[in-house]
A and B are shown apart, each in its own frame.
Chain A
Amino acid sequence: MARDRERASFVAVRRFGLGARPGEIVALRDDPRGAVLAQLQPRAGLLASSDLPSTVEALRRYWVYIAEVKRLREAEPPKPMAAAAPNSPSTAAMSPMPAPMPASVPEQLHRGEFEARLDRQLSTTTPMVERLVNFWSNHFCVASRKGPMLRTVAGAYEREVVRPHVFGRFADMLSASAHHPAMLAYLDNNVSIGPSSKVGQRSKKGLNENLGREILELHTLGVEGGYSQADVTALSAALTGWGFAGMTAKSGEPGTFLFSPERHQPGPVRVLGKEYAQGGADQAEAIFEDLARHPATARHVARKLVRHFVGDQEPAGLVARLTRVFLDTDGDLRAVSSALVGSDEAWRAPPAKVLPPWDFLVATGRMLGIDWRFGEANRMLSLFGQPLWNVPFPSGWPDDDDAWAAPASLLELLDAVAALARRNAGDRNVPRLADETIGAFLHPETRRTIERAETPEIALTLLLMSPDFLRR
Chain B
Amino acid sequence: MDPVLHSRRGVMTAMGTLVASAVIPRVSIAAPGRDPRFLFLFLRGGLDGLAAVAPVGDPHYEAARGGLDLARTGENAGIPLDGTFVLNPNMPFLGSLFRNGEAAIVHATASPYRERSHFDGQDVVESGLGGVGRVDSGWMNRLIGLLGSQERIGRHGGLAIGSSLPLLMHGPAPVVSWLPPGYPPVKEDLRMRLLDLYRGVDPKLAASYEKALELNRAVGGEASVEKVVAEAMKAEKPRGAALFRYSGLAAGNLMARDDGPRIATMSFVGWDTHAAEGPVGGALGRTLESLDAALEGLAHAMSPVWKDTVVVVATEFGRTVRMNGTAGSDHGTASVALVIGGGVKGGRVIGDWPGLGEADLYEKRDLRPTTDLRAVLKGVALDHLGVDRRRLAEIVFPDSASVDPLRGLLA
Taking Cβ atoms with an 8 Å cutoff, the residues of A that contact B are 69, 71-78, 80, 86-93, 95-99, 101, 145-147, 209-210, 213, 354, 376, 379, 382-386, 392-393, 402, 405-412, 414-416, 418-419, 422, 443, 445-446, 449, 458, 461-462, 465-468, 470-471
Cβ of A405 and Cβ of B204 under 8 Å apart?
A: yes
B163 is contacted by which of A384, A405, A411 (Cβ under 8 Å)? A384
Q: Is B155 an interface residue (CB 8 A)?
A: no
A88 is contacted by which of B74, B159, B194 (Cβ under 8 Å)? B74
Residues in B with CB closer than 8 Å to A209 are: 134
Residues in A with CB closer than 8 Å to B274 are: 69, 73
Cβ of B200 and Cβ of A445 under 8 Å apart?
A: yes
Cβ of B163 and Cβ of A98 under 8 Å apart?
A: no
Cβ of B325 and Cβ of A76 under 8 Å apart?
A: yes
Cβ of B327 and Cβ of A96 under 8 Å apart?
A: yes
CA distance A471 to B203 in the complex (A): 13
Residues in B with CB closer than 8 Å to A410 are: 205, 208-209, 212
Q: In B224-266, which residues have CB < 8 Å from any A CB?
A: none
Q: Is B213 an interface residue (CB 8 A)?
A: yes
Q: A402-B204, A414-B186, A415-B186 are in contact. Are A383 and B119 (CB under 8 A)?
A: no
Residues in A with CB closer than 8 Å to B76 are: 89-90, 92-93
Q: A89-B76, A95-B278, A408-B177 are in contact. Are A101 and B326 (CB under 8 A)?
A: yes
State how many angstroms separate the Cβ of A455 from the closest Cβ of chain B: 11
Q: In B349-395, which residues have CB < 8 Å from any A CB?
A: none
Cβ of B208 and Cβ of A405 under 8 Å apart?
A: yes
Cβ of A73 and Cβ of B197 under 8 Å apart?
A: no
Q: A97-B327, A407-B208, A422-B2 are in contact. Are A87 and B186 (CB under 8 A)?
A: no
Find the B residue at minimum CB distance from A80: B67
Residues in A with CB closer than 8 Å to B62 are: 86
Interface size class of B (residues with CB under 8 A): 35 or more
Cβ of A415 and Cβ of B181 under 8 Å apart?
A: yes
Q: A75-B325, A415-B185 are in contact. Are A409 and B201 (CB under 8 A)?
A: no
B275 is contacted by which of A98, A386, A446, A467 (Cβ under 8 Å)? A98
Q: Is B172 an interface residue (CB 8 A)?
A: no
CA distance A405 to B208 in the complex (A): 7
Residues in B with CB closer than 8 Å to A99 are: 325-327
Cβ of A418 and Cβ of B201 under 8 Å apart?
A: no
Cβ of A408 and Cβ of B201 under 8 Å apart?
A: no
Cβ of A443 and Cβ of B183 under 8 Å apart?
A: no
CA distance A407 to B218 in the complex (A): 14
CA distance A210 to B123 in the complex (A): 14
Cβ of B182 and Cβ of A412 under 8 Å apart?
A: yes
State how many angstroms separate the Cβ of A409 from the closest Cβ of chain B: 7
Cβ of B201 and Cβ of A443 under 8 Å apart?
A: yes
Residues in B with CB closer than 8 Å to A422 are: 2
Cβ of A407 and Cβ of B190 under 8 Å apart?
A: no
Q: Is B281 an interface residue (CB 8 A)?
A: yes
- Counting residue pairs across A and B whose Cβ atoms lie within 8 Å, the total is 196
Between A and B, 28 residue pairs with Cβ closer than 8 Å are A69-B326, A72-B326, A73-B275, A76-B325, A91-B71, A92-B71, A98-B276, A98-B327, A147-B118, A147-B119, A209-B134, A210-B134, A402-B204, A405-B208, A406-B162, A408-B161, A408-B178, A410-B209, A415-B183, A415-B184, A418-B184, A422-B2, A445-B197, A449-B193, A465-B194, A466-B201, A467-B201, A467-B202
Cβ of A77 and Cβ of B197 under 8 Å apart?
A: no
Cβ of A92 and Cβ of B326 under 8 Å apart?
A: no
Q: Is B348 an interface residue (CB 8 A)?
A: no
State how many angstroms separate the Cβ of A184 from the closest Cβ of chain B: 15
State how many angstroms separate the Cβ of B281 from the closest Cβ of chain A: 5
State how many angstroms separate the Cβ of B314 from the closest Cβ of chain A: 19
CA distance A391 to B212 in the complex (A): 24
Cβ of B197 and Cβ of A466 under 8 Å apart?
A: yes
State how many angstroms separate the Cβ of B226 from the closest Cβ of chain A: 12
Cβ of A382 and Cβ of B17 under 8 Å apart?
A: yes
B190 is contacted by which of A86, A101, A393, A461 (Cβ under 8 Å)? A461
Cβ of A407 and Cβ of B72 under 8 Å apart?
A: no
Cβ of A95 and Cβ of B69 under 8 Å apart?
A: no
Find the A residue at minimum CB distance from B162: A408
State how many angstroms separate the Cβ of A376 from the closest Cβ of chain B: 6
State how many angstroms separate the Cβ of B379 from the closest Cβ of chain A: 29
Q: A91-B69, A91-B71, A409-B163 are in contact. Are A77 and B201 (CB under 8 A)?
A: no
Cβ of B69 and Cβ of A407 under 8 Å apart?
A: no
Residues in B with CB closer than 8 Å to A73 are: 274-275, 324-326, 328, 330
Q: A78-B67, A382-B13 are in contact. Are A446 and B201 (CB under 8 A)?
A: yes
State how many angstroms separate the Cβ of A456 from the closest Cβ of chain B: 14
Find the A residue at minimum CB distance from B164: A385
9 smallest A-B Cβ distances: which pairs? A89-B74, A385-B163, A75-B325, A408-B161, A407-B212, A415-B183, A467-B202, A98-B327, A73-B324
B197 is contacted by which of A376, A402, A446, A471 (Cβ under 8 Å)? A446
CA distance A379 to B201 in the complex (A): 30
Residues in A with CB closer than 8 Å to B5 are: 419
Contact flags B78-116 to A (C-beta < 8 A → 1, else 0): 000000000000000000000000000000000000000
Residues in B with CB closer than 8 Å to A87 are: 71-73
State how many angstroms separate the Cβ of B53 from the closest Cβ of chain A: 15
Q: A96-B67, A407-B215 are in contact. Are A418 and B186 (CB under 8 A)?
A: yes
Cβ of B184 and Cβ of A419 under 8 Å apart?
A: yes
Cβ of B276 and Cβ of A95 under 8 Å apart?
A: yes
